[in-house]
């Protein structure tokens, strides 16, 4: 198995309340991607393969990193549809969408719990389908030689980490909320299993004049 470095996309449209309007990088998101690319090149981080989801924010992030590697697009690396799930949860159970950033900490595990238990009807995919596509995509990437970069989203990264560490939903939700834009998360094969050896690393943003660019939303 080859090791995989998962990267969350740059900051997207943080004022969005639906999937379509969220799916584009902000000006800061473009800058974060460029800084990450410069860091990887300057430190001679060797990755022979690059994968992304098919969402605009994934593609824009990979383009901004400018790694000079032809990317493989895989829709299995796309994010769960949080806005869609949240809208269905509100329609079917009267649980409103958060009106302030702090409320996401309690809202996300609620969404996950209702989704996993099948209490939300008409979802784009089931929890088990999301779990399986993440697992299958990463196993296929790891089965081929050469370290790989995977540009994706925070919910998918949290799922991958939860699978590696057998986390419950509250822990998985806390992990998802902690993931910063353009942060790096590495899964390394040890004893035939994934082991997280890097989480939420943003060395390209760890400078006095860039710390305001360490964003979550």
Q: Of 44, 41, 45, 47, which is closest to residue 69 (Cα–Cα)?
A: 47
Residues 8 and 73 in one domain: yes
Which CA distances in Å does 103 have to 86, 177, 186?
13, 11, 29
135 domain residue, yes or no: no
129 domain residue, yes or no: no
pLDDT of residue 124: 97
Residues 58 and 105 in one domain: no
47 domain residue, yes or no: yes
| Tokens found for residue 138 | 């990463």
> Is the CA virtual torsion 73, 79, 81, 85 positive or negative?
positive
What is the count of structural domains for the chain? Answer: 2
The residues pairing with 193 across neighbouring beta strands, listed in sequence order, are 190
Instruction: Judge contact between 91 and 80, C-beta under 8 A.
Output: no
Q: Of 148, 153, 134, 124, which is closest to residue 25 (Cα–Cα)?
A: 153
pLDDT of residue 162: 97
pLDDT of residue 203: 97
Residues 69 and 93 in one domain: no
Helix H, strand E, coil C: the string for 147-181 is: CEEEEECHHHHHHHHHHHHCCCHHHHHHHHHHCCC
| Tokens found for residue 81 | 């549809």
Q: What is the domain extent for residue 157?
A: 4-78+140-211
Which CA distances in Å does 112 have to 27, 85, 192?
30, 9, 28
- Report mean pLDDT in 10-residue bins for the chain, 217 residues: 94 87 95 97 90 98 96 98 95 91 88 97 98 97 95 98 96 96 95 92 97 94
CATH number at residue 42: 3.40.50.1240
pLDDT of residue 177: 95
132 domain residue, yes or no: no
- Largest CA-CA distance found in the chain, in angstroms, rounded: 51
Residues 27 and 67 in one domain: yes
Which CA distances in Å does 147 have to 47, 95, 118?
5, 42, 36
């Amino acid at each position: 198995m080859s090791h995989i470095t998962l990267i969350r996309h740059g900051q997207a449209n943080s004022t969005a309340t639906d999937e379509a309007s969220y799916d584009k990088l902000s000006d800061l998101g473009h800058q974060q991607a460029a800084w990450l690319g410069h860091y990887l090149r300057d430190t001679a981080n060797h990755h022979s393969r690059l994968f992304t989801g098919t969402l605009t924010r994934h593609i824009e992030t990979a383009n901004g990193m400018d790694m000079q590697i032809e990317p493989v697009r895989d829709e299995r690396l796309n994010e769960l549809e949080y806005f869609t799930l949240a809208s269905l949860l509100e329609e079917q159970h009267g649980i409103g969408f958060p009106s302030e950033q702090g409320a996401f900490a309690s809202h996300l595990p609620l969404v996950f719990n209702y989704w996993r238990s099948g209490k939300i009807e008409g979802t784009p995919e089931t929890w088990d389908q999301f779990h399986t596509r993440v697992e299958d995509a990463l196993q296929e990437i790891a089965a081929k030689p050469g370290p790989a970069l995977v540009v994706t989203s925070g919910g998918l990264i949290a799922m991958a980490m939860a699978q590696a560490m057998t986390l419950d939903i509250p822990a998985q939700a806390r992990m998802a909320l902690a993931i910063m834009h353009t942060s790096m998360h590495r899964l390394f094969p040890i004893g035939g299993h994934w082991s997280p050896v890097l989480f939420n690393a943003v060395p390209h943003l760890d400078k006095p004049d860039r710390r305001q660019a360490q964003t979550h939303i």
